[in-house]
Amino acid sequence: MSDELDILVIEDELVVQEAADRVLRLEGLGVDRAMDSESAVDMVRRNVYKVILSDLMLPGASGFDIIELIKTARPAAQVIVITGYATLENAIKSFQLGVFDFIPKPFDFGELLGVVRRALRYHELVLAGSVPSPLQADPAQELYALGQHTWALLDPEGSATLGVAETFPNQMGEVNSVELPDIDGYTTQGRCFVRIHSADDAVYRVLAPLSGQIMALNNRVREESELLSSDPYGDGWLVRIIPENLEEELCNLTHR
Amino acid sequence: MKSRIGLQLILAVAAVSLTVFGLLSNFLINSQHRSLVTQMEQHAEQITETIKRSTRYAMLRNRRDDVHQIIDAIGEQEEFTKVRIFNKEGEIIYSPDRSALGTMVDKRAEACYACHEADSPLERLSTSRRTRSYTDSEGRPNLGIINPIYNEPNCSSADCHAHPTSQSVLGVLDVTMSLDKIQQQMAANRRKAILLTALAIFSTSAIILLLHQQLVGKPVRQLLQATEKVADGDLTHRIEVKRNNELGKLQTSFNEMTRGLSEAQNQLYQSDKMASVGRLAAGIAHEINNPLTGVLSFSSLLLKNATDNSELRADLEIIVRETKRCREIVKGLLDFSRQIPPRKTRVNLNKTVKRALDIVDHQLAVKNIAVTTTMKEDLPSARLDSNQIVHVLINLLVNAADAIGPRGGEIFVSTDLEEIEGNQMVEVKVADTGCGIPLSEQNKIFEPFFSTKEGKGTGLGLAVVWGIINEHNGSISVTSQPERGSTFTILLPTNGRMELSEKSHDHERRA
Ligand SMILES: Nc1ncnc2c1ncn2[C@@H]1O[C@H](COP(=O)(O)OP(=O)(O)OP(=O)(O)O)[C@@H](O)[C@H]1O
Ligand SMILES: [Mg+2]
């Protein structure tokens, strides 16, 4: 599709719009902007965008309505939700609507870049029809995913292993370092628990699919980051936790 | 008199003692009077007999001078007002008062009345009928006694003039004695009785007044004052309880009531304050988030492009770092105002406490702080977001460590089961031997941005703690003694019903 445009930013706050615009243009991306839901709907109808960044709180309409509209009108477009702190819960729920990822305000240059790059790459995969299906090592384990990129494997003993989907490393450039949480720390569903810094200045925030107490870290991925892509559901796992609120949180995940 | 109860009490007691003492002394005086009069009568009777006997011989011999002498001698004695003898016709024939001789006594006069009441005079009379009390013309009381002189064989056979035998009464001896002395004595007695009664009433009233003042008046006045103070909004006033009687207990429970009231008011005020501060914080945080996005993304962008200029790079690094700190503060503020509701599951508080301790264990050991834990066994589970409670406990533990400082010290962590107003609550206490918190600051420490750690603390720790506990429908309170240490107490509801089924389940298993 030659008339495909890069990015649409739907955001009522001017400074956030400008920041996104500036960062993304620097990447050489074309950016359109919409201030309210009406013009947003209008632009989505008229143009085809690869990636759409949208605030959930917009004057005139609920952000969910716009996401639904985008996903039905333009299924290939990847939606990234910009959230204020207050809409974090809602953002997690919006994964059910097929949202690619979300980025909480305030974000820095690298964080925005990271998520947009990944979305663009995923978009390419979608267009090429080559989205890989999960390579599950042990079929006895239940696999749940949060959005497109993180997963949780439920062990029969009650613990859960968290990691990134095989698509995730593909969407990143060369990995510089993997920032794992503290052992004894906690994960909270929808909050970043691992940061992956790439060679090209982008920061990839990995969101925890489940909340719980961390009982083990896979330190191997610090040295051998290629494990993330070569064996994401096996040796490439990130942390193992004891889930805290499993039943409720599973509702926000998709069963694979 | 200020106290009306006291007055009423005294009046009642005075009335009762007046009646009792009055009746009693009246009775005593009357009977004394009666016995004195009887004595007097007997005395008079004896005297008349004596006169009769002593004059008998002179009369028989008809020696009138002798009779006059005897009568005069007796009449001289002070106790007798009158001594006279009159004959059957009522003519006075002997009397110390010579002028009265020969005068006739009216049969209707008090001396004769007893016998001459009926038409024909009586001849024999009992002693009591022969005596009479009366007041003379000068108003002096008198006792009169008559003693008839009867005809005797000697008389009728005497050669002088001889009384005929048919005549049974020859004349009457009439002696009148003054009752003045007795009357005076009685009056004196009456005065004494009145004086005594008055004294008794006065002293009992005084004792009652004193007792009432001490036992009732003072405590009631204190209660009254305290009630007025409370009504004026002063909930800090306490009554000094001195006695353990009913009023003392009333005072104690009044004190307890005011204490409870002040606690409730304080809690209400605190939660009101925290709620409005929370709204304010959330509002500010939301507003700040957007400009912060601008600052953070543009400054990080500049930083990325400033690779060659190391000085600029260093400056920009500071801007980015500090903006990220702002981001964390805003996150803390929003945490405090509970934008995220807790995700509650049934957990055992002991486990949560242990998790928190495990996390800071190393940190505390390094700071020379000994931790003592006392866990209540068989603690029922409570519905809580254990991540958030762990967060709460870590905050409290870190604060405790900060308060203890580099010298080292002790932290005591304990859990317990409490029942508050019929609700089962689990309790966790974190106590330290640190610097303590002055009373004036104890209300402020939960406010966002209240910190005494100059630059090292943002003052959000306890605000977030408060927010989390509030969202759990629990409570957090602090007691502290400066220089000695502080104790933070958290109470969280277990929500009764499930406990019951769990307990009975346990029971079955054990049985
Ligand atoms: N255990 C304690 N002993 C003595 N003072 C305390 C204790 N806990 C809290 N405080 C006082 O309460 C203030 C507020 O505590 P809070 O945890 O809210 O903020 P902070 O510790 O100063 O900063 P932050 O927790 O945000 O890093 C502290 O600065 C301190 O003065
Ligand atoms: Mg603190």
Cα distances (angstroms) measured from residue B189 to each of A106, B171, B184, B186, B493? 108, 40, 9, 5, 81
Answer whether B361's CB lies under 8 Å from B381's CB.
Answer: no
Show the tokens assigned to A104: 């909480």
For A175, phi then psi, to 5°, come to -85, 130
Answer whether B47's CB lies under 8 Å from B41's CB.
Answer: no
Ligand 2 centre from A49 Cα, in Å?
Answer: 47
Cβ separation of B291 and A186 shorter than 8 Å?
Answer: no
Cβ separation of B297 and A245 shorter than 8 Å?
Answer: no
User: What's the mean pLDDT when you consider all of chain A?
Assistant: 85
Cβ-based contacts of A249 with chain B (< 8 Å): 343
Does residue A188 belong to the interface with chain B, where contact is any CB pair within 8 Å? yes
Annotate B83-110 with DSSP letters as a single string.
EEEEETTSBEEE-SSGGGTTPBPPTTSH
Cβ separation of B323 and A245 shorter than 8 Å?
Answer: no
Taking the CA of residue B459 as reference, the ligand 1 atom at the shortest distance is 19
For chain A, the domains span 4-128, 142-255
* pLDDT confidence of residue B498: 41
Which residues are CB-contacts of B73 (< 8 A; sequence separation ≥ 6)? none
- pLDDT of B508 strictly over 70: no
pLDDT band at residue B110 under the 50/70/90 scheme:
low
Helix, strand, or coil (residue B426)? strand
**Single-letter amino acid, residue B54:** S
For residue B163, give the nearest of B216, B87, B52 by alpha carbon.
B87
pLDDT in tens, B132-173: 888 877 888 888 888 888 887 777 676 666 677 777 778 888
Answer whether B506's CB lies under 8 Å from B380's CB.
Answer: no
pLDDT in tens, B197-245: 889 888 988 998 888 888 888 888 889 999 999 899 888 888 888 888 8
* pLDDT confidence of residue B503: 40
pLDDT in tens, B460-479: 889 889 888 988 889 999 99
- pLDDT of A142 strictly over 60: yes
- pLDDT of A85 strictly over 80: no
- pLDDT of B459 strictly over 80: yes
Answer whether A187's CB lies under 8 Å from A215's CB.
Answer: no
Return the CATH number of the domain spanning residue range A4-128: 3.40.50.2300
Cα distances (angstroms) measured from residue B294 to each of A14, A57, A106, B118, B290? 9, 18, 8, 141, 7
Q: Which residue has the higher pLDDT, B158 or A95?
A: A95
Answer whether B364's CB lies under 8 Å from B397's CB.
Answer: yes
Helix, strand, or coil (residue B428)? strand
Closest ligand by atom to B462 CA: 1
pLDDT band at residue A102 under the 50/70/90 scheme:
confident
For ligand 1, atom 1, the nearest C-alpha belongs to B400
Cβ separation of A106 and B295 shorter than 8 Å?
Answer: yes
How many other β-carbons are positioned within 10 Å of the β-carbon of residue A174? Answer: 8
> Token pair 């770092």 is at which residue?
B321
Ligand 1 centre from B445 Cα, in Å?
Answer: 7
Percent helix, strand and coil across chain A, each to the nearest 5: 35, 30, 35
Cis ω for the linkage preceding A106 (within 30 of 0): yes
Work out the minimum CA distance from A173 to partner chain B, whole angstroms.
17
Cβ-based contacts of B291 with chain A (< 8 Å): 15
**Single-letter amino acid, residue B89:** E
CA B290/CA B288 separation, integer angstroms: 6
Domains and CATH numbers, chain B: 2-184 (3.30.450.20), 342-511 (3.30.565.10)
Ligand 1 centre from B463 Cα, in Å?
Answer: 10
Name the pTM for this structure: 0.60
Q: Which residue has the higher pLDDT, B369 or B390?
A: B369
Beta pairing, strands A101-104 & A78-83: parallel
Return the CATH number of the domain spanning residue range A142-255: 2.40.50.100
